[in-house]
Amino acid sequence: MARTRIFRSGNSQAVRIPREFRLSGTEVEIFRRGGEIVLREVRDPGLAAAFELLAELPPEIDDRADAPPQEREGL
């Protein structure tokens, strides 16, 4: 696990990102996940990003009881 320093930049806090974690873009998303602060590179939204979001959902989200199909008259 790498360690780095936190410093002040104006009225903000900043973190030095070591070379092995260098980011290629110019913008990141930042959010808290439990006790962690996560930085994630912003990338063009696409189908792959949608699948990644679905993969992050907890497994219990699919614990639902669907009703059986309805009986309907034909056309």
Question: Is residue 40 situated within a structural domain?
Answer: yes
Query: In total, how many domains does the chain have?
Result: 1
Q: From first to last of its 75 residues, what are the pLDDT tens digits of the chain?
A: 889 999 999 999 999 999 999 998 889 999 999 999 999 988 777 788 788 888 888 877 766 777 888 899 987
Question: Is residue 72 situated within a structural domain?
Answer: no
Question: Is residue 17 situated within a structural domain?
Answer: yes
pTM of the complete model: 0.49
Question: Is residue 16 situated within a structural domain?
Answer: yes
What is the maximal distance between C-alpha atoms in the chain?
70
Question: Is residue 66 situated within a structural domain?
Answer: no
The rounded distance, in Å, linking the Cα atoms of 43 and 37 is 19
Which pLDDT belongs to residue 62? 67
Which pLDDT belongs to residue 5? 93
Which pLDDT belongs to residue 34? 93
Question: Is residue 41 situated within a structural domain?
Answer: yes
Please, is 60 exposed, middle or buried when counting C-beta atoms within 10 Å of its C-beta (0-12, 13-18, 19+)? Answer: exposed
Between CA 25 and CA 29, with CA 27 as vertex, the angle to 5 degrees is 120
Which pLDDT belongs to residue 59? 77
Cβ pair 5, 14 in contact under 8 A = no
Place of tokens 């990141």: 28
Domain region containing 36: 6-56
